Structure 1
Amino acid sequence: MVPADIAVTGLGLVTPAGPTPEANWSALCRGRSLAAADPELAGLPVDFSCRVPPFDIEAELGRGRTRRLDRFSHLALAAARRAVADAGLDARTWDGERVGVVLGVGSNSLHTYVKEFCHLGAGTPDRVSPLALPRSVPNMAAGEVAIDLAAGGPNFTTSSACASGATALGVARDLLRSGACDIVLAGGSESARSRMTATCFHRMRALSRRRDRPAEASRPFDADRDGFVLGEGAAVLVLERYAGARARGVRPRALLRGYGATSDAHHPVAPRPDGGGAARALTAALRDAGCGPADIGHVNAHGTATRQGDAAEAAALTRVFGGDPPPVTAPKSVIGHALGAAGAIEAAYTVLSLEHQLIPPTANFRFQDGDHKLDIVAGVPRRVTMTAAITCSFGFGGQNAVLLFTAP
C-alpha cells in the first residue's frame, strides 16, 4: 500500500435495482431483468425500459428544488448524499475547497427539451420556461451536487457517451493523485427514458424489440441478442487518497488502482470489430495498476447486448486475456442501460463484487456464438477468490474506458 493509492470510501446508488448498495446487490444476485412496460414510452415501437422504483424525492430534496431540477439531477443529488453518508463524512464540517465533483452525463436532458420545443413549434415562445437551460444542460448535475454539499473544489462533467461515468472516475483519480483535491465525489447520472431517446435508438436498431417479453429482452453475449433496454440511474463514489482515509480511521471499500482510456478512431457509432481500441484500454489499465492479466479475477463487462458491441468486447477480452479470460458478468441484463451513468453504476458493482467475493449472474444468458468464447456467469452467482477486478465501458465515437479495482 502506498500513499498514492486511491481509496473508495463511500458508495451511493439509485438505480432500477433500488436506492441502496444492499438493494442493488440483492437484485443483481437474483439475476432477473427488471425491464417492464413504461407508461412514458406508451405508443412507441419500443415501449419498455428499466425504471428507478418510486421514492419520495420531494421529501429528500424539498419541493422547490425538486420542481426546479430535471430527473438526472434528482438522481445525482440522491446518490451523492448517500455516498457521503456511507463514507462517514459530513459536508457541514469538511473543508469544501478541497472537495471536487466530477460526474459523467451522456447528453443533455431530452425530457425538458422535447417539452420546450413543443412551445416553439406551436408559435408560443413566451411559454418556454426560463429554467429550460439551467435545469437541463449536462453540467448541472455536478453543479447542483456542489451547491448541495458545499464542495468548492474542481467541478465539471465528463461526456464520453456511454463511457462517461467511468471517465469521470478516472479523471477524479487523477485530481487526487495530482494533489488538487483531498476528496472527490465521482460518478454519473442519466435518465434515458425520454420518448425522443427511445425513438432515436429504435431508429438506429440499437434497442431490443421484444416488447411482448421485456424481462427477456436484454441478453448480453447471448447468441439471440437483439439490442439493449433503456434504463436510468446514478452512482457516486467517494474517492480519497488511501493515507487520508486511514488517517480518519476509515477502512476503504476498495482501491481504484488502474485506469485506461483510448479511442477506436474508427466510426461514429460502431466499435472497431477486432476490439483493438478496447484491448488497448484494458492493457493501459493493467499497466497503470502494475497488474498482469493473471491477476484479474473478474470482468464487469460493458455488455449492451448489441450484435456488434458484444462481439467487439469479446474480441478485446480474448486479445488481452487469451483463451481463458476471467469470469464475466453483464449487469445491463438486469438494470438496463443507463447510458452516461452506466460506467459509474458498474464501477460500484465491481467494488461490491470484490467485497462479497461473488460474481452476480448475467440475466437471460443461454449460449454464445462466434469465435470468442467467454466464461459468462449465468443462472446463479459464482463464489470466487479475487484480489482485483476490472470494469469496461465503451461509447459512441469510439470512447473506451477501463477501471481496475483491488481489495483494500
Structure 2
Amino acid sequence: MEFKRVVVTGLGALTPIGNTVSDYWNSLINGVSGAAFIKSFDVTHFKTKFACEVKGFDAEGFLGRKEARKLDPFVQYALFSTEEAVKDAGLDFDKLDTNRIGVIWGSGIGGLKTFLDEVVNFAKGDGVPKFNPFFIPKMIADIAPGHISIKYGLRGPNFTTVSACASSNNSLIDAFNYLRLGKANMFITGGSEAIINEAGIGGFNAMHALSTRNDDPATASRPFDLDRDGFVAGEGAGTIILEELEHALKRGAKIYAEMVGGGMSADAYHMTAPHPDGLGASLVMKAALEDANLTPADIDYVNVHGTSTPIGDPQEVKAIQNAFGDRIYDINISSTKSMTGHLLGAAGAVEAIASILAIKNDLIPPTINHFTDDPAFDPKINFTFNKAQHRVVNIAQSNGFGFGGHNASVIFKKYQQ
C-alpha cells in the first residue's frame, strides 16, 4: 500500500512566552524565559512559588463572559490556539468536506482547575451535593476536541490522546496515520494543558518533581546544566493543521513542512522514572526513523524532551547516543522547555511547532540557562546552549516522554514537491 503524504498547513500557539506563533518564535530564538512568580493563587505555603504562566490571555474577551464560564482553561487555551491555526491555514469550512476533517487533541490531565474548584466548594459546604451542572463536561479530558469540532462543524474522527507528557505527540501521530491511510483529508491536532493551580503545583511538589529555585525563577529551568533541580510547570496550547498533500495543493494552501514519521514505545520500567539506560526513549527514536524511512545521518535537529530533572536529562542523552551513534556530534540538540517550562500534555505540540519553524527558518532555538557544564555529558555534543544557531535544517525530530513510561517521537521534513 502506498501511503499518502501529509503536510503542515497551519499553526497556532498560546504559550508562556507568546500568545501567537510569531511572538512564541521570536521569544524562542531570543532566549526569553517565561518563568516568574505565580500570580493566579497564593503560593505562601508552597515549596515552589513560580511557574511559566500564560500572560495577558483574556478568556472573556475572546469567548464572552457566559461562554468562558462554561469552559475550563485548558479548553479555552485549545480554542484560542486553534482559531489562530485555522486563520493561518486560510480555511473556509463552507468550501470543504467537513465530514472528512477531524480533531485529535492531547491533554495529560484535562480540567484540573474545574475539578479542584468543585471539590473544594463541596468540602466547604454542608455535605449536600451542590455541584455545577457544567462540572463534568468542563473537566473531562476529551472535551477540548469536542468543542473545536462543534465550533467549526467538523464531523471527522474526534478524540483525545492521554499519555501524560507525550499526549500531544501521540495526537500528532494518530492524525498523521489517519491521513496517510486516506481516512480523512485534514486534522486539527495538538494539545493543551492548564495545571498551574494549587492541586497541580502542590501535587508535583509532593513528588519532588519541580524546581524550587525561588531565588531566581527566570533561570530555574536548566536542562543539561549541572545544577538542574527539577522542571518548571508551564501551561498553554499548540495547534497544528495536518493535511493530506493533494488536498492541500488543490486548495492552494501554504505548506510549512511535511510530517514524515512517528514512533511510540514504552519504558516498561517505573511509574514516574525513565529507564536508567534510556531504553524506551532510544526505541522510540529508532521507531520514528524507521517509520520515516530515514537514518540518523538524515537528522539535523532534535528538540528533546529535556525537562531539567536530575535523572531525566541524562537518560535522554544516553538514548540519543544509542539511537544516533556518532551522528550525535553532528546534530543540534535543544530543549525549548528552558524557556516555556513543561506544558505536560501540550508540550509535544508547542515543541513540534518549534521544530517546524526551525526547518522553515534554518534556525535552532537555544537551550537557555546554562551556567555549569555537567561532566556526565560529552562536551562534544552541541546542546545549543544560550544562543540560537543558524544551520540548514532539512529534518527535525521532536521527543515527548510521559509518566507511566509513555514515549512518542515525531519527525518533520522540509517540503519538496
State the TM-score, normalizing by the size of structure 1.
Answer: 0.97
CA distance in 1, matches of 2:94, 2:129: 41
Q: Which residue of structure 2 lines up, in the alignment, with residue 76 of structure 1?
A: 78
- TM-score where L is the length of structure 2: 0.95
Tell me the alpha carbon deviations over residues 237-260 of structure 1, each in whole angstroms, 9 at most, x when there is no partner.
Answer: 001111211111123100110100
| Alpha-carbon distance in 2 for matches of 1:115, 1:386 | 45
**Structure 1 residue 125: Cα displacement:** 3.5
Aligned residue identity for 1:199:
G
Question: Unmatched 5+ residue regions in structure 1?
Answer: none
Q: What is the rounded CA distance, in whole Å, between the counterparts of 1:91 and 1:339 in structure 2?
A: 31
Structure 2 counterpart of 1:162: 165
Where do 1:233-382 residues align within 5 Å?
Answer: 233-325=236-328, 326-366=331-371, 367-373=373-379, 374-382=381-389
8 A contact 2:52–2:235 mirrored in 1? yes
Summarize deviations over 1:43-62 as a string: whole Å, max 9, x none.
21111111111133223222
3-state SS, counterpart of residue 93 of structure 2: coil
SS at match of 1:364: coil
Moved more, 368-377 or 206-215: 368-377
The Cα of 1:368 is off from its aligned counterpart by: 2.6
**SS of structure 1 residue aligned to 2:233:** coil
> Of residues 133, 136, 145 in structure 2, which corresponds to 1:133?
136
Verify: 1:207 aligned to 2:210, yes or no: yes
Query: Could you list the runs of 5+ residues in structure 2 that have no partner in the other structure?
Result: none
AA matched with 2:121 = H
Question: Which residue in the other structure is 2:65 paired with?
Answer: 63
Deviation at 1:77, TM superposition (A): 0.3
> Which deviations, in whole Å up to 9, do the C-alpha atoms of 1:86-107 show, x marking residues without a partner?
1110234322111100000001
Residue 20 of structure 1 and its aligned partner are, at CA, apart by 1.3
Structure 1 residues 254 and 41, CA, compared in 2 at 3 Å: closer, same or farther?
farther
The whole-number CA distance in structure 1 between the counterparts of 2:175 and 2:359 is 21
Conserved 8 A contact 1:3-1:243: no
The 3-state SS of whatever aligns with 2:83 is helix
**Is the contact between residue 17 and residue 32 of structure 2 (CA under 8 Å) also seen in structure 1?**
no
Shift of 1:324: 4.3
Question: How is 1:27-176 mapped onto 2 (pairs within 5 angstroms)?
Answer: 27-39=27-39, 40-43=41-44, 44-122=46-124, 123-176=126-179
Q: What SS does the corresponding residue of 1:402 show, helix, strand or coil? A: strand
Question: What is the alpha-carbon distance in structure 2 between the residues aligned to residue 287 and residue 385 of structure 1?
Answer: 22
CA contact (8 A) 2:89 2:254 kept: no
Identify the residue that residue 13 of structure 1 maps to in structure 2. Answer: 13
> Which sits farther off after the overlay, 59-68 or 382-391?
59-68
What amino acid does structure 1 have at the position aligned with 2:311? Q
Separation (CA, whole Å) in 1 of partners of 2:6 and 2:42: 41
| 2:60 match: secondary structure | helix
Cα root mean square deviation, aligned: 1.4
CA offset digits 1:208-264 (Å, max 9, x no partner)? 000111001000111110001111010110011112111111231001101000001
